[in-house]
Amino acid sequence: MKSARLLFLIICLFMGSTLLKAQVSIRDSAIFTPIFYAAYGYQFPGGDLARQFGSNSSIGGGFMIKTKHNWLFGVEGNFMFGQSVKGSDTMLRNISTSQGFIIDANGFYADLVYYERGYNFLARIGKVIPVLSPNPNSGFTVIAGAGYIQDKIRIHNPGNTAPQLLGDYKKGYDRLNGGIALTGSIGYMYLSNTRLLNFSVQFEFMQAWTKPYRERDFDTGLKDTRNLSSQFYTIRAVWMIPLYRRTPKEFYYY
């Protein structure tokens, strides 16, 4: 029993010594930390996308790891939404009156609203460059990513009074497409010395290669077989929650 107690005491002393040595200050040392984050972006389209939509917003979040060497590894998802849809006045011409209106099931003009909808899932890798920063964990960032993107037109008919735009009929006009995307961004990341304020601002460029998914577009009567090339130019604001352990003035990493 005495030997067991002695061994237990030695292990406790060793662990305590290790924790003391592992104790660092975020002001002085780059640390390892997991980070959850939420992001908002305002996007300007280019390429084929610009012929279909105007500017839009995106909101999402993700998880990343920042290493002791200031490398960043993460995954994220974003929901894209906007109200600037081009060509909506002619999209339904085959089922509209000569004045461009849709007659609903009650014999009235249907109220229609057009939206851009989409999403993306991305894996990211990047680096923090601690220049003009309050500590070695903050600074300019260079981040690259790759993943999947999808977007479409959402036609909203309040009350669903127009049977011409219900179920599979609506899908014939939504221009659903999807494919792969590559991203690159430059920005600045700030991890506060006091942990009260942690954020990042970025300018991001995304290149997407997509193809239409619907078997037929009802307004043309044909399948869209184009390979689409689109771009997003995005200004992003990111709010971060780092998960490192800390004392009031010091931080721990293991």
pLDDT tens profile 196-245: 899 999 999 999 999 999 999 998 999 999 999 999 999 999 999 999 87
Q: Could you give the CA distance from residue 130 to residue 142 in angstroms, rounded to a whole number?
A: 12
Mean pLDDT of 118-139: 97
pLDDT at 129: 98
- Confidence category of residue 194, pLDDT binned at 50, 70, 90: confident
22, two tokens: 């592992």
- Confidence category of residue 5, pLDDT binned at 50, 70, 90: low
In this predicted structure, the answer to whether residue 26 has a pLDDT above a threshold of 90 is no
In this predicted structure, the answer to whether residue 103 has a pLDDT above a threshold of 90 is yes
Q: Which residues make beta-bridge pairs with 143?
A: 126, 185
Q: Could you give the CA distance from residue 18 to residue 12 in angstroms, rounded to a whole number?
A: 10
Q: In what order do the strands lie in the sheet with 251-252?
A: 23-24, 251-252, 245-246
Q: Could you give the CA distance from residue 30 to residue 68 in angstroms, rounded to a whole number?
A: 5
Quick check: helix, strand or coil at residue 176? coil
In this predicted structure, the answer to whether residue 115 has a pLDDT above a threshold of 90 is yes
Mean pLDDT of 44-54: 97
Entry pTM:
0.84
**Which runs of E-coded beta strand occur in the chain?**
23-24, 33-47, 56-66, 71-82, 113-129, 139-156, 177-191, 198-212, 228-242, 245-246, 251-252
Residue 16: is it exposed, middle or buried by C-beta count within 10 angstroms (0-12/13-18/19+)?
exposed
32, two tokens: 């390892």
Quick check: helix, strand or coil at residue 21? helix
- Confidence category of residue 7, pLDDT binned at 50, 70, 90: very low
In this predicted structure, the answer to whether residue 34 has a pLDDT above a threshold of 70 is yes
224, two tokens: 């869209």
Q: Which residues make beta-bridge pairs with 62?
A: 37, 76
b/e 158-197 (16+ beta carbons within 10 angstroms → b): eeebbebbeeeebbbbbbbbbbebebebebbbbbbbeeee
Q: Could you give the CA distance from residue 85 to residue 226 in angstroms, rounded to a whole number?
A: 19
Going along the chain from its start, the domains and CATH numbers come out as: 2-252 (2.40.160.20)
Mean pLDDT of 53-75: 98
For the chain, what is the mean pLDDT?
89
